[in-house]
């Protein structure tokens, strides 16, 4: 809703930053995937607490129903983890290539297509559960098909790098670039696993463990750490140490590959997942030892990262508003941004407003300065539509969150916890909703109706 309705005027849909698009697609996927885990776990807890038989085959239930519902959530969840990371990679690559992202429209359409296709793959987690042949073939084809939009994004980034004006190899860039190597390795084993015969062969082996660590650490952890280094100056006002940053990046990159690459070989050699030991005669010892050494290197790298965060928080170089020379709007305000973000609110006239600084668009005036007033804009072209008063500070949301938490934790153990726990939750919600005289105003004593706009005009 924020992305659709509360943009800077002038930021039409085709000017939304690529990272924000990634978050929109993620939000939609959350909306349609989470109900599956909601239904699945509600049925599970009912089976456990009040004697229903959803998953009990003796009374007409079916454990496979759990698997379907769980993976209908579980597979989209992989993309919920992965898609924001692609937005981070695209942002970092464009910034340090000093040019707009190549094929913006194709990249956005790829993100949306990935969002849709992510819902058509869940059965590939269940190839060993004895499903009909036709279903397996369909889900193999669907799993192969999702390679297309993902590859399109990767080619878009390669084209951006290829035509870069001046490539800057910074720490965030290293994390984004490592995505190419690590994630594509995981994608290649993914294409192998999508095929049923190979999947059956290596099902529940370390090959699968290697695959999903390459996909998720490459497709999410590396970009997320890169994103943290990239936005750290905006969040805190200080830069992270570059030298220590390079050390922790390279240690992570090496440690990760030393840990997880041998698992491909272990899986192909038949080592099953989820075992804590195995007979020495299997001959898996040396590769497992290598993986353990890699894990120790990962530990050191993340420790260095943490030390870097702490020392930079205390003594990092002052960042200024736009240390990377980036193009998007968050870099237009000071670091760290004040609670109201901008004063006055900006408008934009291009996709890279900060790279077109000579055409500074007009700022916004006329929003209330004595109440928390925000501008609501139209969905397509973000024309100003109306003003909207945000609620003032209140304790009720916190109390509601606490009451809801108590209700759900209680309901894990006792069915009546849901009933009794709902009462304080409902009371808190009423307290939150009930209009309070004067509360919606901020602490200034200014009379109603005096706005910044009037002051200026």
Binding site for another protein (CB under 8 A): 1, 4-6, 9, 31-32, 34-36, 38-39, 42-43, 46-47, 50-54, 56, 59-62, 65, 68-69, 72, 344, 347, 362-367, 373, 375-376, 378-379, 384-389, 426, 429-430, 433-437, 451, 453-454, 456-457
For the range 353-362, what are the long-range contacts, defined as Cβ-Cβ under 8 Å and sequence gap of 24 or more?
353/327, 353/328, 353/329, 354/322, 354/326, 354/327, 354/328, 354/329, 355/100, 355/327, 361/10
How far apart are the C-alpha atoms of 422 and 428, rounded to whole Å? Answer: 10
Pick 270 or 362: Cβ nearer another protein: 362
Pick 192 or 429: Cβ nearer another protein: 429
How far apart are the C-alpha atoms of 433 and 427, rounded to whole Å? Answer: 10
Contacts of 412 (CB under 8 A, 6+ apart): 45
Under 8 Å between Cβ of 23 and 3: yes
Under 8 Å between Cβ of 125 and 71: yes
Nearest distance from residue 330's CB to another protein, in Å?
20
Pick 4 or 278: Cβ nearer another protein: 4
Pick 62 or 242: Cβ nearer another protein: 62
Nearest CA among 357, 376, 375, 358 for reference residue 366: 375
Alpha-carbon dihedral 389, 391, 392, 395, rounded to 10 degrees? 180
Pick 126 or 268: Cβ nearer another protein: 126
Contacts of 345 (CB under 8 A, 6+ apart): 8, 363, 364, 367, 375
Nearest distance from residue 321's CB to another protein, in Å?
21
Nearest distance from residue 42's CB to another protein, in Å?
8
Nearest distance from residue 141's CB to another protein, in Å?
22
Nearest distance from residue 131's CB to another protein, in Å?
13
β partners of residue 384: 377
Pick 24 or 216: Cβ nearer another protein: 24
* CA 60 to the chain's CA centroid: 39
Pick 224 or 427: Cβ nearer another protein: 427
Token code pair at residue 323? 């240390």
Nearest distance from residue 10's CB to another protein, in Å?
9
Place of tokens 């909207």: 388
Residue 381 DSSP label: T
Nearest distance from residue 13's CB to another protein, in Å?
15
β partners of residue 451: 368
Pick 299 or 388: Cβ nearer another protein: 388
H or E element, residue 377 = strand 373-377
Nearest distance from residue 267's CB to another protein, in Å?
33
């Amino acid at each position: 809703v924020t992305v659709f309705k509360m943009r800077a005027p002038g930021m039409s849909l085709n000017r939304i930053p690529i990272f924000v698009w990634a978050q929109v697609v993620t939000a939609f996927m959350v909306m349609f995937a989470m109900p599956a885990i909601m239904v699945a776990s509600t049925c599970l807890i009912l089976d456990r607490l009040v004697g229903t038989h959803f998953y009990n085959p003796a009374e007409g239930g079916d454990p496979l129903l759990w698997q379907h519902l769980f993976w209908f959530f579980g597979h989209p969840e992989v993309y919920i983890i992965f898609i924001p990371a692609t937005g981070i990679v695209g942002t970092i690559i464009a910034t340090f290539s000093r040019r707009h992202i190549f094929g913006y429209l194709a990249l956005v359409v790829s993100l949306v297509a990935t969002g849709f296709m992510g819902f058509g793959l869940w059965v590939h987690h269940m190839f060993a559960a004895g499903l009909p042949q036709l279903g397996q073939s369909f889900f193999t084809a669907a799993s192969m098909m999702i390679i297309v939009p993902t590859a399109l994004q990767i080619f878009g980034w390669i084209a951006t790098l290829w035509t870069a004006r001046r490539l800057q190899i910074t720490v965030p860039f290293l994390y984004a670039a490592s995505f190419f190597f690590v994630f594509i390795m995981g994608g290649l084993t993914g294409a192998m696993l999508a095929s049923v015969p190979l999947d059956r062969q290596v099902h529940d082996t370390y090959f699968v463990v290697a695959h999903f660590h390459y996909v998720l650490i490459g497709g999410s952890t590396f970009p997320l750490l890169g994103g943290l280094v990239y936005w750290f100056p905006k969040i805190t006002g200080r830069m992270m140490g570059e030298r220590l940053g390079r050390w922790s990046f390279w240690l992570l990159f090496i440690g990760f590959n030393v840990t997880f690459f041998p698992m491909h070989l272990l899986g192909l050699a038949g080592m099953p997942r989820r075992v804590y030991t195995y007979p020495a005669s299997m001959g898996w010892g040396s590769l497992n030892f290598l993986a353990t050494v890699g894990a120790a290197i990962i530990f050191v790298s993340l420790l260095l990262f943490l030390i870097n965060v702490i020392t930079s928080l205390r003594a990092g170089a002052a960042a200024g508003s736009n240390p990377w020379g980036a193009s998007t709007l968050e870099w237009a305000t000071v670091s760290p941004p004040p609670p109201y973000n901008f004063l006055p609110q900006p408008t934009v006239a291009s996709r890279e407003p900060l790279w077109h600084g000579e055409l500074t668009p007009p700022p916004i005036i006329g929003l209330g300065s004595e109440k928390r007033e925000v501008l609501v804009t139209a969905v397509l072209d973000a024309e100003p539509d109306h003003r909207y008063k945000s609620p003032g500070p209140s304790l009720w949301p916190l109390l509601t969150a606490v009451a809801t938490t108590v209700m759900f934790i209680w309901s894990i153990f006792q069915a009546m916890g849901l009933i009794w726990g709902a009462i304080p939750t409902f009371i808190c919600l009423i307290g939150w909703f009930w209009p309070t005289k004067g509360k919606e105003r901020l602490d200034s004593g200014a009379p109603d109706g005096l706005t910044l706009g009037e002051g200026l005009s």
